[in-house]
């Protein structure tokens, strides 16, 4: 009887751990999708560089240095500093909910 009870307890523990793993994975994936949709998309103007954009929005994301901002934009948009073009749309690490009234944005 002890052996059966032990096996049943192990089975319950396995199911609980599996359920917790599935929930954690779901939350991680959902958070990334939700967070991704919250970033601001900007249109590059003639003469803009990733560094000038980083300086312009620095006060909206104080968690990143200018260099970190530039690297984030390069990675998330699949670009490099050399191939930024006017009228291109870029996702930047600034939340849509940020107050962007500065410079008419």
Do 71 and 91 belong together in one domain?
Answer: yes
Do 6 and 49 belong together in one domain?
Answer: no
Task: Give the pLDDT band of residue 98 (cuts 50, 70, 90).
Answer: low
Do 21 and 43 belong together in one domain?
Answer: no
Residues spanned by the domain of 4: 1-37
Do 43 and 89 belong together in one domain?
Answer: yes
pLDDT single digits (tens) 41-90: 999 999 999 999 999 998 888 788 999 999 999 999 999 887 889 999 99
Q: What angle do CA 98, 103, 105 make, to 5 degrees?
A: 45
DSSP label of 40: E
Do 49 and 95 belong together in one domain?
Answer: yes
| Best CA proximity match to 53, nearest among 1, 3, 2, 100 | 100
pLDDT single digits (tens) 4-30: 888 888 888 988 888 888 878 767 665
Per the structure, how many domains does the chain have?
2
Q: Is 29 helix (H, G, I), strand (E, B) or coil?
A: helix
Do 46 and 1 belong together in one domain?
Answer: no
């Amino acid at each position: 009887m002890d052996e059966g009870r032990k096996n049943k307890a192990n089975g319950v523990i396995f199911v609980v751990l599996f359920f917790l793993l599935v929930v954690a994975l779901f939350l991680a994936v959902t958070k990334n999708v939700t967070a991704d949709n919250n970033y601001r998309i900007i249109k590059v103007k003639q003469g803009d560089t990733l560094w000038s954009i980083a300086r312009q929005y620095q006060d909206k994301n104080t968690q990143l240095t200018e260099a970190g901002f530039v690297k984030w934009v390069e990675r998330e948009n699949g670009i490099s500093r050399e191939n930024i073009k006017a009228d291109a749309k870029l996702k930047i690490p600034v939340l849509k909910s940020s107050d962007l009234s500065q410079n008419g944005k």
